[in-house]
Amino acid sequence: MKLHIIPAILVSVALAIVVFFILETMRKPTYSLGELPERFIHEHQVTDFDGEVFRQRRDQIVEELGADLVIISATTRHDFRYVTGFTESRGIAVIEPGTSKPYSLFVTPWEIYTVMWTGEVYGINGAIEKFGADQAFELDKFDEKLAEMVRGKNSIHIHGGDSRMRNAVEAALRHNRQQAEVIDMAPVLHELRVFKDQWEIEQLKQAIDVTLKAHDFVMATVKPGQTEYEVQAAIEYIYRRNGLGVGFSSIVGSGPNSCLLHHTRNDRTMQDGDVLLIDIGAASRGGYVADVTRTIPVNGKFTPKQREIYELVLKASDKAMEQMTPDNYILDCNHVASKVMVDGLHRMGLIPDTTSWWQKRFYIQHRVNHYIGLQVHDAGDYGFETQKRDEHILTPAIRGRKLEPGMVMTLEPGLYFMVGMLDGIHEMFGHLASEDELNAFVEQVRPIYEKYEGIGVRIEDDILITENGYVNLSAHAPRTIDEIEAAMRR
Ligand code: GLY
Ligand code: MN
Ligand code: MN
């Protein structure tokens, strides 16, 4: 009898192990980064540039400025790239409309030691052939040519953020014993940068699409026991593998770190039951940056508490998105998102008094939109004082400027139940409420708040404003609970 039981047990155990491994393999495909499936990759190219797009852009800049001489250097980084498309860290562009060679670039010349020590440069030929300059010179020749270039000009447009250029232009004017107005072009450039042309929108789509591939990859592969930096590495690998750059420091925050708005240490080991907030953006080959956040359960299934918060943030996002049309103002979506979240938190017992500004401010940490473009927080005026967060964030009467077609901005509501946050309430609002009021709030809210501690949820999409409404450029990343859980079951 005994002799039969032992082999039977051994066979059953072996079968159970085999079945377990088969189920485990079915549950998740295993990807090795070296051999990524096709759907995570598309073809390579180093820098995107379109001579005609940039020529038209320079014409538009000259027209807006009413300028007869425009000088801009690579010191101004994104503004220089906007004008020239030129990618090197050193360079100067000069535009003299109406002359036979209106567009000059001053660049690092191709020299054997420069290239050997610092890497490939485009040089004089590249400036002309690739970047469309009518003529190009060595950078070192700029100072001696400057006096000649400013001669006879009444107004000279430079960039206010470039004090070295201002000094050089003023020295050239003194040298010529010449009077001319030196004008800052930055406000005009920044206003133009608010409205994206078709080429820029394609660039943003390229960055967004690869960012979404990274989100898809994480959803398909993440599991408890991995570290945040492994996830970060996989994300950035996917960018590079697609020939794109990292647009900004990847935020990969699990569990309590999901509540730290700009967590970039990414050093925690993820636990079963954690949420994982991933706020990332690739940079396109033309330099345009995506900014997309998804919040997912590390083990593939949201807990009931996580679902509650997720549903509330998602509702805020959906309602706010409806506001993103040219009929509305730039902060309207923010006020709608805040209202949805405040009402929800009130129903949950977390905001006892919705007329109390500080009770709302305790949960509403940031506004929900910013422009994206060559920078993740792109240049451009919003029609209100962006620095004074406390003024506009919960004041529906402050609406900012009108939304217009061609603007591209994020929509990113979030709620964060930071561990220990309630204990910081005196530090945060001691100047607005009495000790007794704050203590009463903490006492009432704590039993509820603690159930959500360590849950941070942000949902961030990239929205293009159109003639009639908007397009959510990141809509094809799983966004609802069902979509995310389904993507994680693949
Ligand atoms: N990634 C920073 C932000 O969402 O604005
Ligand atoms: Mn972001
Ligand atoms: Mn953002």
Residues in Cβ contact with 469 at an 8 Å cutoff, skipping those fewer than 6 apart? 324, 325
- HSE-CB at 5 with a 13 A cutoff on CA atoms is 2
Q: 378: Cβ below 6 Å to ligand 1? A: no
- Can you list the domains of the chain with their CATH numbers? 68-184 (3.40.350.10), 196-489 (3.90.230.10)
- In this prediction, residue 24 carries a pLDDT of 63
What's the average model confidence in pLDDT over 473-477? 97
Quote the ligand 1 centre to 56 CA distance (angstroms). Answer: 31
Task: For 297-329, write each residue's pLDDT tens digit.
Answer: 999 999 999 999 999 999 999 999 999 999 999
This prediction has a pTM of 0.91
What distance in angstroms lies between residue 363's CA and the mean position of ligand 1's atoms?
A: 18
pLDDT at 14: 84
Mean pLDDT for the stretch of residues 458-474: 98
Q: For ligand 1, say whether the CB of 200 is within 6 Å of any of its atoms.
A: no
The pLDDT tens digits for 76-127 are: 999 999 999 999 999 999 999 999 999 999 999 999 898 889 888 999 999 9
What value, to the nearest 5°, has the Cα angle with vertex 422 and ends 417 and 427?
A: 120
Contact by Cβ (8 Å): 40, 239: no
pLDDT for residue 6: 79
283, β-bridge pairs = 245, 289
Write down the pLDDT at residue 36. 60
Q: Would you say residue 1 has pLDDT above 60?
A: no
**CA dist., res. 61 & res. 106, Å (int):** 19
Distance (Å) from CA 415 to ligand 1 centroid? 14
Q: Name residues with Cβ closer than 5 Å to ligand 3, which is an ion.
A: 291, 410
**Most confident segment among 30-44, 107-121, 285-299:** 285-299
Q: What is the 3-state secondary structure (H, E, C) of 375-404?
A: CCCCCCCCCCCCCCHHHHCCCCCCCCCECC
Ligand 1 binding pocket includes 412 (Cβ within 6 Å):
yes
- Residues 46-90: pLDDT tens digits? 789 999 999 999 999 999 999 899 999 999 999 999 999 999 999
Which secondary structure element, helix H or strand E, spans residue 307, and what is its range?
Answer: helix 304-321
Residues around ligand 2, an ion, CB closer than 5 A = 279, 291, 460
Candidate of 260, 294, 412, 474 to mutate for ligand 1, largest count of ligand atoms within 8 Å of Cβ:
412
Q: Is the CB of 279 under 6 A from ligand 1?
A: yes
Taking the centre of ligand 1 as the mean of its atom positions, its distance from the CA of residue 292, in whole angstroms, is 8
Task: State both tokens at 368.
Answer: 């929900």
Read off the pLDDT of residues 191-217 as tens digits, 9 standing for 90 and up: 999 999 999 999 999 999 999 999 999
User: Rounded to 10 degrees, what is the CA torsion of 414, 417, 420, 424?
Assistant: 50
* pLDDT for the residue numbered 11: 85
pLDDT band with cut points at 50, 70 and 90 for residue 28: low
What is the per-residue pLDDT for 44? 45
End-to-end CA distance of the chain, in Å? 45
Check residue 43 and give its pLDDT. 46
